[in-house]
Structure 1
Amino acid sequence: MAYYDRLDEHGLAVLDYVRARRHDFHRHPELSWCEFRTTAVLCRELAQMGFSVRWGRPLWGELRPHNLPPREQLDAAFAAARAELGEGDPYLAEMAGGFTGLVAELDCGGGPHQAFRFDIDALPVQESGGCDHSPCGAGFASVVDGRMHACGHDGHMAVGLGLARLLAEHKAALKGRFTLLFQPAEEVAGGGVHFARLPQLQGADRLYSVHVGIVDRPVLVCDATWIAGSVFEVVFRGRPAHAGNNPHYGRNALLAACQAVTALYGIARHGGGASRVNVGAMHADNPNNIICDEARLRFEVRGADNGIRDYMAQRARQVIEGAAAMQEVTVEITPLTRFENHPNHPALAAWIKEQALAFGLGAGDIQDSYQVPASEDATFMTRAVNEGGGQACHLLFGCPVVGGHHNSRFDIPDPLLAWGSSFYFHLARQALACWGSDQFKV
């Protein structure tokens, strides 16, 4: 039996609730910076529980979202949310323009400040319609064409709401301040950069963040670190010419882009740790009889740490500029966003393992540490808390993942989410017991 199938009384109490919330979010996926309906639903749920909720422009203050999608995409997503929720929805207006996400706080009086982070965006993936795909059979598959919660963020939100319900129901027995951050735009390394600067996170004694799945077996990882990454947009500009009559007059931007793509995949990998490169898109809107004068591509590099990421980025710039020089075209390389590698607080990771054992997990249910060969923008928040005198740690609620992450058949077990809510509640209460001890010191 998987660890998450052994639900305690608190897990059983929120199971139906987290299942229903996860299924609702799964049916209504929204892309990065377009999480308007998602944010409004979260605000409503948390306000009804008694949390103090801040969202939209009042939450963001002087901060501004970056790497936003095209304006027409933002406007269409906002209009769709307004059409569903109604003109009078009290939350939507303040989110216009991409000011999504929220922070919910429950103040129970003197004690530690504990923060929990959950990401909320979906992916541009068309969900499988196969009869063996559980969301289809159970009636909660995505109703939005070309969009899907294919990474588990619908589950993360459900864990957060389950935790919120348990905190609210036991408020009289709790102390301290509980801050739940529902962060937008993780998939584009957007929201975490800004949420790390929010005043609601400042002074946090502890920050917990989590990802479901990732490790494709039922195991709790107490210390999950993520590799660093950077994303770039590249534009090659050449000179058009007749492809048959005088091709030698032209300067072929598309050929330069093709040579750059080949060269990018040929970059020598770093001997000091994991390194990655991927070209996700290449486009040239050009007829067949004209030498192409403009081509675009978007690519990413990753590294086990920030230094290896920077090595990959430097080599990528060199080979792209070399490809442009070969074809005598110009090139612009624009950084779009980045992910950082930052270690978890070792004392908090060790304490989480102790608490997992006390919560009923066996040694075989726990993995001490794991470096995920992917990237996460929660690391900006981890860094802010750890460097601010607190303790921050990222966990994995590992489980068999149908189809794999970012796949059209992605699915996760609902009991895992109820277990996660209950385990987080356990951590929150146990932290109160050791408040003021050496375990809270950096």
Structure 2
Amino acid sequence: MQKIWQEAEAMQPELVERRRDLHRHPETGWTEFRTAAMVVKELQALGYDVYMGSDALVEAEMMGLPNNEVLEKAMARAVSEGADAALVEKMRGGKTGVVGVMKLAKPGKTVAFRVDMDCNDVEECTGDTHRPLAGGFRSLHTNAMHACGHDGHVTIGLGLAKMLANHKEELAGTVKLIFQPAEEGVRGARAMVATGIVDDVDYMFGGHIGFKATKADSLVCLTGGFLATTKLDASFKGESSHAGAAPEKGRNALLAAAASCIALHSISRHGQGASRINVGVLQAGTGRNVLPDVGLIKMETRGANTEINEFMVSEARRMIQASAAMYNVETVISEAGGAPACVADHELGAEIKALAEATGGFGEVIDYMDLGGSEDCSYFMERVQQKGGRAAYLMYGTEIAAGHHNSCFDFNENCLHKAVAMLTELAIAYTNK
């Protein structure tokens, strides 16, 4: 154990350099061409069997894709910033998922680790106290920032890949490293799960920097409280007319969209557990003297379990359709993202805690925390559990400069090598189960 922690600590300068490079070059969901190309190159160099592009996800299951113009510009930018053009081409259409597989000679269990890669649609702050600005690694891209720590997650994943390649003799079975696009908006996991990549997995591990674990040198061994969620977009199409001369000839999509917003927030909450609904975007109309013929709302539902969330979705669809009918406009409702609820395996959490305490690598080991939000790692975890495997989600403790998704977000990079060491310990322990 001590050797692994020493090796991981010696890797810290390399981890910091990579994290800062990723922070400087953030890529939003389904446009992670540079990041994914880097991952492919690293995994191939370390001897992993690498699956990417159409081999790593099912196109029909991809949710919330940007339009082709956005994707093409992102591909060109990635190549201009050093990405391998041939690899980027294989990811055309936003197919930026990557899986690295290492099969060991010694029989054992199949253990998978999931890493998310995308950034947020956030313009990074320019305050004097913002460390990425002072350190020269502030985002180079407009309205794109690693404001949730996924730059750290990719760094940890690649650090783990290197450690496992260096410790093959201690491993058994099969290790799978899953680098997932489009976690923000919970859009990316479903398409990767649909390939069957985790159907044979015995143990599945995910994790996150910070979030509720905001104390340095700490580890949360098990995270629960994953709310099921669905992200919906509803577009409204009416008929425009002159607002002064012939308002009676129009069909008002703005009013239909606005009425939907009010109706959605009036949905009864569920008595069997937590339920949530929120309209985050309302756009409508074309001009002040034109009766509005177009409208759009972007919203989400959440539930303590999948059934509660499905109740909220069903009611949301009903409210939207009724509001559209009331104003005699058409509506199209599309799913832009989603994730199921996930049940925490407390027995597995206790095992992780015992292992973490035995390593002596953390000042504080916490057995459990509630997430209180949604994360599409739950797709992987749920599938593994359905197939008879076990799954856990950890949190790597670190101080944060501002809350997640805040323009001044930053974290203490000392958590990087500790996470790498702990995940290496898990890989060794659980492939040999």
Q: 1:272 to 1:369 in 2, by over 3 A?
A: farther
Deviation, structure 1 residue 432? 4.8
Q: Deviation string for 1:218-248 (max 9, x for gaps)?
A: 2432221311111111122223222123323
Question: What secondary structure sits across from 1:419 in the alignment?
Answer: helix
Query: Given the alignment of the two structures, is residue 249 of structure 1 paired with residue 249 of structure 2, yes or no?
Result: yes
Is structure 2 residue 77 aligned with structure 1 residue 80?
yes
Higher mean alpha-carbon deviation, 312-321 vs 129-138, is at 312-321
Indicate whether 1:95 and 2:95 are aligned.
Answer: no
Q: Which moves more between the two structures, 201-210 or 276-285?
A: 276-285
Q: Does structure 2 conserve the Cα–Cα contact (< 8 Å) formed by 1:211 and 1:397?
A: yes
Unaligned runs of 5+ in 1: 1-6, 436-442
**SS in structure 2 at match of 1:47:** helix
Correspondence for 1:198: 195
Following superposition, the deviation at residue 63 of structure 1 comes to: 6.3
1:280–1:298 CA contact under 8 A, matched in 2: yes
After alignment, is 178-187 or 365-374 more displaced? 365-374
Range that drifts further, 365-374 or 42-51: 365-374
Match of 1:232 in 2: 232
| d(CA) in 2 for partners of 1:432, 1:79 | 40
Offset at residue 139 of structure 1 (A): 1.1
Offset of 1:61 from its aligned partner? 7.0
Question: Within 2, Cα distance between the matches of 1:285 and 1:245?
Answer: 17
User: Mean alpha-carbon deviation: is it higher for 149-158 or for 276-285?
Assistant: 276-285
Specify which of 123, 137, 142 is matched with residue 140 of structure 1.
Answer: 137
Equivalent in the alignment of 2:347: 347
Q: Equivalent residues in 2 for 1:389-428 (5 A)?
A: 389-428=388-427
Identical aligned pairs, as a percentage? 37
Instruction: Give a deviation string over 1:286-332, Cα, whole Å, max 9, x none.
Output: 11111111211111111121122122222322332333243333322
Shift of 1:257: 1.2
Question: What does residue 373 of structure 1 align with?
Answer: 372
Given the two structures, how large is their TM-score scaled by the length of structure 2?
0.92
What is the CA-CA distance between 1:285 and the residue it aligns to? 4.2
Q: Distance in 2 between matches of 1:262 and 1:408?
A: 30
DSSP 3-state at the match of 1:344: coil
**Is the 1:58–1:94 contact (alpha carbons within 8 Å) kept by the matching residues of 2?**
no
Moved segments of 4+, more than 6 Å: none
Change (3 A) 1:63 1:258: closer
* Correspondence 1:278-427 to 2 at 5 A: 278-360=278-360, 365-427=364-426
Write out aligned runs for 1:88-127 (5 A).
Answer: 89-110=85-106, 111-127=108-124
Residue of 29, 49, 53 corresponding to 1:56: 53
Counting matched residue pairs gives 426
CA deviations on 1:376-415 (whole Å, 9 max, x unpaired) are: 1111111121122221111122333322111111111111
Post-superposition shift, 1:170? 1.9
Listed as ranges, the gaps of 5+ residues in structure 2 are: none
RMSD: 2.2
Residues 99, 301 of structure 1: CA spacing in aligned structure 2 closer, same or farther, 3 A cutoff?
same
* Residue pair 2:229, 2:302 contacting (<8 A) in 1 also: yes
- Does structure 2 conserve the Cα–Cα contact (< 8 Å) formed by 1:216 and 1:401? no
Code of the aligned partner of 1:96? R
TM-superposed CA distance for 1:159, in Å, is 0.9
Distance 1:91 1:239 in 2: 46
Tell me which residue corresponds to 2:156.
159
Distance in structure 2 (CA, Å) of the matches to 1:427 and 1:58? 27
